[in-house]
């Protein structure tokens, strides 16, 4: 309060929006600027991570990112191996981000996402993950048909198919041209998928108009706005947080979570829900920066008092060793 | 009955019944597995080896199970020792996350698996805490290579982030070589790790430090003639060495930062100072050169920690 400038004043806030295509995310930059924040867009390809002895930093074509108060990331999960170490640096610099460390790995790996949600008490379709297709009929006795079967090779899901009988499942397994590293079998739940957009404690939702009889593909533009119930709201917010996101799309069916993703389909949600989602996102980011600023301020004040004291006669007499000033 | 006999019987009666399951890669070395199980059976009451592909991870409303035949590995064992590689990354992550819910002792964890399977991430994590390492960078687009060259300069070592046993590593001497390689590498991987080439006092040699709890065993690896990579799988050789305090400290600190009770830290001499080049989640025990030395150490350590853990839970 005494020495440092607390970021409660929006005009002092610097927020970086990181994405892959400008047209997909520039609405957020605009919304932040309208609220008075200094917002900038930068393509994730323009980032380079550097690690030296005792120091690591994020280098971009516009310089270092240290001056930013928040970084809003909207990149695909396959960039997880790049984004994860980047998130660690962002957190170290006490910059707010909508994604926590580990979130992108959780999203990139569907079996891991499944296990993470289950261990956090979040209801998902019953599933079995296995590396071996031998005795598959016996293995999947624990599940009810229809089953969504997925094959895994390396770090990716190769193929997926809904199977209704054990013989269809065998056909799926035998259709694999190469040896797979694993399989994910999930009970396929029929019903209407609800796609929820979680922004902190706010949830916007789109419900599919038709039941998903043969596919888990969602076409948001063919959905209708949906008012989530309290229990559904709790489920989707918990799911987003369990995976590591403050802002995420969470799809549910009959109150079971089927996927969590960091990318917001902005256009679709704006159209169907008749909202300006980017303004809610902007409000959320600004609020987070304010909260972060308040937490930082007293610590910064103590450091500055200590520094000032160490320069006095008493400070020199009583201090045990010199400390370098933290930048 | 003699007093010595009574003491032995008492000790036996007090001995905790301990069990271990070792989860290995789909493609494993039979001789190593045989040696591990043999040593484990000397110490544990029940020892089992199972490959990762034979385990089923079952998630239901009731919770999570790690099933192998009729056993739930999360509850039926006192010690779970995961020994799988980056080849098993997708399943491995899910299994390690599941193991976190178990009360069994596990010397490794999900985070350490994710970090050690990522060359740049390992470097960043360690260097942040002051562990001497190699100047490293990570980028997505070859278009912005100049940002990297400004930091590192040539020659550069280009690595696939999850390469192992010396695979996926290329030495790039100049811009001409870089341009032709970059486009090729980028076809296979979205992220490219580039590191400064370490000029070693003894080229083609490095030190592998096996960390087992607070103990460090040092092995010097010597590259095959003509190869700058010292991996034994590429035809190099190895011998046990006496380590300096500097090397021991680096190895123990690195293992602690990554929260790993069993691992191997590879170091190289960079103009008289040792730097970490790699951390191994699943180190090979170098049986050909040091016999069952490391396997015995690992098993004894796992037994000891398993007992301590079991007492804590009680």
- Residue A84 belongs to what H/E stretch? helix A80-92
Nearest CA in chain B to A135: B54
CATH number (domain holding residue B141):
3.30.1490.20
Chain-chain contact of B26 with A49 (C-beta, under 8 angstroms): no
Alpha-carbon span B277 to B207, nearest angstrom: 10
Alpha-carbon span A3 to B120, nearest angstrom: 38
The more confident residue out of A229 and A157 is A229
| Cβ B125 vs Cβ B257: under 8 Å | yes
User: Does A234 score more than 90 pLDDT?
Assistant: yes
In chain B, the number of structural domains is: 3
Q: What per-residue confidence (pLDDT) applies to A150? A: 93
CB contacts < 8 A (A, B): 166
CATH number (domain holding residue B63):
3.40.50.20
Could you say which of A53, A85, A155 has the minimum Cβ distance to residue B120? A85
| A85 contact partners, CB below 8 Å, separation of at least 6 | A49, B118, B120, B121, B124, B138
B114 domain residue, yes or no: no
Chain-chain contact of B140 with A55 (C-beta, under 8 angstroms): no
Could you say which of A51, A88, A131 has the minimum Cβ distance to residue B123? A51
Among A258, A246, A241, residue whose Cα is nearest residue A285: A246
Chain-chain contact of B57 with A48 (C-beta, under 8 angstroms): no
User: Does A2 score more than 50 pLDDT?
Assistant: no
User: Does A205 score more than 90 pLDDT?
Assistant: yes
| Cβ A237 vs Cβ A282: under 8 Å | no
B201 Cα to chain A: minimum distance (Å): 20
A65 Cα to chain B: minimum distance (Å): 14
Which domains, from first to last, does chain A contain?
A: 10-99+280-296 (3.40.50.20), 126-187 (3.30.1490), 191-277 (3.30.470.20)
Q: What per-residue confidence (pLDDT) applies to B235? A: 67
Residues of B in contact with A84 (CB under 8 A): 114, 118, 121
Alpha-carbon span A84 to A156, nearest angstrom: 17
Give the phi and the psi of residue A52 in degrees, each rounded to 5: -120, 175
Residues of A in contact with B137 (CB under 8 A): 48-51
Question: Does the N-terminal peptide bond of residue B155 adopt cis geometry, omega within 30 degrees of 0?
Answer: yes
Chain-chain contact of B54 with A131 (C-beta, under 8 angstroms): yes
Alpha-carbon span A224 to B51, nearest angstrom: 47
DSSP state for residue B271 in the 8-state scheme:
T
Overall size of chain B counted in residues: 314
pLDDT tens digit sequence for B251-260: 999 999 999 9
In the predicted model, what is the mean pLDDT of residues A74-100?
Answer: 95
Residues of B in contact with A155 (CB under 8 A): 89-90
Which residue has tokens 């999360």? B74
Query: Residue A218 has which token pair?
Result: 């969602």
Alpha-carbon span B177 to A180, nearest angstrom: 35
Residues of A in contact with B136 (CB under 8 A): 50-51
> In terms of domains, do B210 and B257 share one?
yes
Alpha-carbon span B150 to A152, nearest angstrom: 39
Interface test with B, best of A85, A107, A138 (most B CBs within 10 A): A85
> In terms of domains, do B102 and B159 share one?
no
B272 Cα to chain A: minimum distance (Å): 16
User: Does A269 score more than 80 pLDDT?
Assistant: yes
pLDDT tens digit sequence for B31-69: 999 999 999 999 999 999 999 999 999 999 889 999 999
Q: What per-residue confidence (pLDDT) applies to B20? A: 98
Chain-chain contact of B93 with A126 (C-beta, under 8 angstroms): no
DSSP state for residue A144 in the 8-state scheme:
P
Q: What per-residue confidence (pLDDT) applies to A4? A: 44
> Range of B187's domain?
135-196
pLDDT tens digit sequence for A101-127: 999 999 999 999 999 999 999 999 999
> In terms of domains, do B96 and B149 share one?
no
> In terms of domains, do B101 and B12 share one?
yes
| Cβ B110 vs Cβ B100: under 8 Å | yes
Among residues B154, B171, B196, the one where a domain terminates is: B196
> In terms of domains, do B189 and B212 share one?
no
pLDDT tens digit sequence for A158-197: 889 999 998 999 899 988 888 888 899 999 998 999 999 9
Chain-chain contact of A79 with B191 (C-beta, under 8 angstroms): yes
Residue A290, CA distances (Å) to A12, A70, A304, A323 in order: 11, 10, 21, 29
Among residues B173, B196, B219, the one where a domain terminates is: B196
Nearest CA in chain B to A81: B191
B73 domain residue, yes or no: yes
> In terms of domains, do B100 and B33 share one?
yes
B159 domain residue, yes or no: yes
B67 Cα to chain A: minimum distance (Å): 10
> In terms of domains, do B75 and B147 share one?
no
B31 domain residue, yes or no: yes
Could you say which of B26, B148, B191 has the minimum Cβ distance to residue A131? B26
Residues of B in contact with A182 (CB under 8 A): 53, 90-91
Q: Work out the number of other CB atoms within 10 angstroms of the CB of residue B211.
A: 25
Q: In A, residues 149-208, which contact B (CB 8 Å cutoff)?
A: 152, 154-156, 181-182
DSSP state for residue A245 in the 8-state scheme:
B
- Residue A207 belongs to what H/E stretch? strand A202-208
Which residue has tokens 């980017």? A278
Q: What per-residue confidence (pLDDT) applies to B200? A: 73
> In terms of domains, do B206 and B150 share one?
no
A10 Cα to chain B: minimum distance (Å): 32
> In terms of domains, do B152 and B100 share one?
no
| Cβ B161 vs Cβ B119: under 8 Å | yes
Q: Rg of the Cα trace of chain A?
A: 24
The interface predicted TM-score of the complex, written ipTM, equals 0.89
User: Does B7 score more than 70 pLDDT?
Assistant: no
- The DSSP bridge partners found for residue A73 are A18
> In terms of domains, do B28 and B92 share one?
yes
Could you say which of A46, A109, A131 has the minimum Cβ distance to residue B53? A131
Residues of A in contact with B28 (CB under 8 A): none
Q: What per-residue confidence (pLDDT) applies to A323? A: 43
B127 domain residue, yes or no: no
Q: What per-residue confidence (pLDDT) applies to A222? A: 87
Chain-chain contact of A85 with B124 (C-beta, under 8 angstroms): yes
Residues of B in contact with A123 (CB under 8 A): 61
B67 domain residue, yes or no: yes
- The DSSP bridge partners found for residue A261 are A249
Residues of A in contact with B55 (CB under 8 A): 130-131
Chain-chain contact of B127 with A53 (C-beta, under 8 angstroms): yes
Could you say which of B59, B143, B151 has the minimum Cβ distance to residue A45? B143
Q: What per-residue confidence (pLDDT) applies to B10? A: 44
The more confident residue out of A246 and A214 is A246
In the predicted model, what is the mean pLDDT of residues A231-252?
Answer: 98
Q: What per-residue confidence (pLDDT) applies to B56? A: 94
Secondary structure (DSSP) of chain B: --HHHHHHHHHHHHPPP-EEEEEE-SS--HHHHHHHHHHHHHH-SEEEEEEGGG-EEEEETTEEEEEETTEEHHHH-SEEEEE--GGGHHHHHHHHHHHTTS-SB-S--HHHHHHHT-HHHHHHHHHHTT--B--EEEES-GGGHHHHHHHH-SSEEEEETT--TTTTEEEE-SHHHHHHHHHHHHHH-S-EEEEEPP-BSSTTEEEEEEEETTEEEEEEEEPPTT-S---GGGT-EEEEEPPPHHHHHHHHHHHHHTT-SEEEEEEEEETTEEEEEEEESS----HHHHTTHHHHHHHHHHHHHHHHHHHHH-
SS3 at position A202: strand
| A196 contact partners, CB below 8 Å, separation of at least 6 | A203, A204, A205, A228, A232, A236, A249, A250, A251, A252
Is A56 at the interface with chain B, CB within 8 A?
yes
Q: What per-residue confidence (pLDDT) applies to A127? A: 95
What does the mean pLDDT of chain A come to?
Answer: 88
pLDDT tens digit sequence for B147-186: 888 888 889 988 877 555 456 688 888 888 888 787 777 6
Q: Please give the share of chain A, as a percent, with pLDDT higher than 90.
A: 67
Is A88 at the interface with chain B, CB within 8 A?
yes
A180 Cα to chain B: minimum distance (Å): 10
pLDDT tens digit sequence for B179-231: 878 777 766 667 889 999 877 777 778 899 999 999 999 999 887 666 555 55
Among A104, A50, A96, A20, residue whose Cα is nearest residue A285: A96
Interface test with A, best of B50, B51, B58, B73 (most A CBs within 10 A): B58
Chain-chain contact of B128 with A123 (C-beta, under 8 angstroms): no
Is A144 at the interface with chain B, CB within 8 A?
no
B272 domain residue, yes or no: yes
Chain-chain contact of A85 with B100 (C-beta, under 8 angstroms): no
A66 Cα to chain B: minimum distance (Å): 16
- Residue B214 belongs to what H/E stretch? none
B30 Cα to chain A: minimum distance (Å): 19
- The DSSP bridge partners found for residue B208 are B219, B266
> In terms of domains, do B85 and B41 share one?
yes
Query: Residue A234 has which token pair?
Result: 């709790």
Query: Residue B146 has which token pair?
Result: 């100049």
Chain-chain contact of B55 with A131 (C-beta, under 8 angstroms): yes
Chain-chain contact of B191 with A47 (C-beta, under 8 angstroms): no
- Residue A315 belongs to what H/E stretch? helix A313-318
Alpha-carbon span A282 to A286, nearest angstrom: 6
| Cβ B27 vs Cβ B86: under 8 Å | no
DSSP state for residue A255 in the 8-state scheme:
T
B294 domain residue, yes or no: no
Among A257, A247, A256, residue whose Cα is nearest residue A74: A247
Alpha-carbon span B105 to B16, nearest angstrom: 14
Nearest CA in chain A to B114: A105
What does the mean pLDDT of chain B come to?
Answer: 87
Q: What per-residue confidence (pLDDT) applies to A56? A: 92
A301 confidence band (pLDDT: 50, 70, 90): low
Could you say which of B93, B127, B140 has the minimum Cβ distance to residue A44? B140
CATH number (domain holding residue B208):
3.30.470.20
Among residues B170, B196, B222, the one where a domain terminates is: B196
> In terms of domains, do B16 and B95 share one?
yes
Report the half-sphere exposure of B94 (CA within 13 A, side-chain side): 34
């Amino acid at each position: 309060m005494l020495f440092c400038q607390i970021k409660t004043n929006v005009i002092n806030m610097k927020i970086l929006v990181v994405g892959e295509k400008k047209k997909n995310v520039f609405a957020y930059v605009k919304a932040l600027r309208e609220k008075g924040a200094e917002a900038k867009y930068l393509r994730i390809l323009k980032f380079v991570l550097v690690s030296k002895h005792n120091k690591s930093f994020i280098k971009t074509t516009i310089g270092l990112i240290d001056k930013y108060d928040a970084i809003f990331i909207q990149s695909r999960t396959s960039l997880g191996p790049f984004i994860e170490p980047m998130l660690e640096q962002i957190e170290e610099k006490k910059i707010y981000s909508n994604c926590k460390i580990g979130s992108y790995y959780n999203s990139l790996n569907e079996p891991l996402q499944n296990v993470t949600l289950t261990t956090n008490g979040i209801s998902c379709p019953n599933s079995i993950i296995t590396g071996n297709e031998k005795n598959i009929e016996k293995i999947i006795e624990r599940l009810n048909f229809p089953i969504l079967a997925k094959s895994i090779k390396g770090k990716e899901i190769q193929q997926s198919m809904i199977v209704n009988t054990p013989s269809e499942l065998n056909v799926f397994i035998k259709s694999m041209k190469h040896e797979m590293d694993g399989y994910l079998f999930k009970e396929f739940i029929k019903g209407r998928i609800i796609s929820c957009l979680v922004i902190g404690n706010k949830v916007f939702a789109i419900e599919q108009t038709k039941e998903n009889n043969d596919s888990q593909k969602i076409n948001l533009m063919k959905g209708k706005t949906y008012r989530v119930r309290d229990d559904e709201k709790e489920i989707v917010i918990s799911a987003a947080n369990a995976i590591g996101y403050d802002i995420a799309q969470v799809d549910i069916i009959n109150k079971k979570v089927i996927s969590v993703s960091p990318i917001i389909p902005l256009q679709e949600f704006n159209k169907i829900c008749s909202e300006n989602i980017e303004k809610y996102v902007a409000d959320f980011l600004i609020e987070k920066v304010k909260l972060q600023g308040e937490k930082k301020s007293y610590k910064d004040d103590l450091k500055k008092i200590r520094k000032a004291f160490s320069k006095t006669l008493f400070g020199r007499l009583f201090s045990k060793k010199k400390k370098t000033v933290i930048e | 009955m003699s007093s010595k006999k009574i003491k032995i019987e008492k000790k036996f009666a007090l001995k905790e019944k301990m069990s271990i399951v070792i989860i290995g890669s789909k493609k494993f070395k039979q001789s190593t597995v045989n040696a591990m199980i043999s040593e484990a059976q000397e110490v544990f009451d029940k020892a089992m080896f199972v490959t990762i592909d034979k385990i089923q991870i079952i998630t239901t409303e009731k919770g999570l199970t790690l099933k192998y035949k009729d056993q739930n590995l999360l509850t039926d064992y006192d010690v779970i020792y995961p020994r799988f590689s980056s080849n098993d990354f997708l399943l491995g992550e899910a299994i390690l996350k599941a193991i976190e819910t178990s009360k069994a002792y596990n010397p490794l964890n999900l985070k350490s698996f994710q970090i050690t399977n990522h060359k740049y991430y390992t470097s960043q994590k360690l260097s942040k805490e002051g562990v001497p390492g190699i100047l490293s960078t990570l980028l997505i687009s070859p278009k912005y290579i100049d940002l990297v060259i400004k930091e590192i300069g040539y020659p550069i070592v280009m690595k696939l982030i999850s390469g192992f046993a010396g695979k996926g590593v290329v030495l790039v001497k100049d811009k001409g070589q870089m341009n032709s390689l970059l486009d090729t590498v980028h076809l296979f991987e979205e992220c490219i790790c580039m590191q400064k080439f370490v000029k070693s006092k003894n080229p083609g040699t490095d030190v592998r430090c096996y960390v087992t709890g607070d103990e460090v065993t040092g092995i010097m690896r010597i590259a095959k003639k003509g190869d700058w990579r010292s991996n034994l799988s590429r035809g190099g050789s190895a011998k046990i060495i006496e380590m300096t305090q500097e090397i021991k400290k680096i190895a123990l600190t690195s293992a602690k930062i990554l929260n790993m009770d069993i691992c191997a830290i590879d170091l190289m001499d960079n103009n008289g100072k040792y730097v970490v080049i790699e951390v191994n989640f699943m180190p090979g025990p170098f049986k050909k050169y040091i016999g069952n030395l490391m396997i015995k150490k690992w098993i004894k350590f796992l037994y000891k920690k398993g007992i301590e853990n079991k007492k804590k839970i009680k």
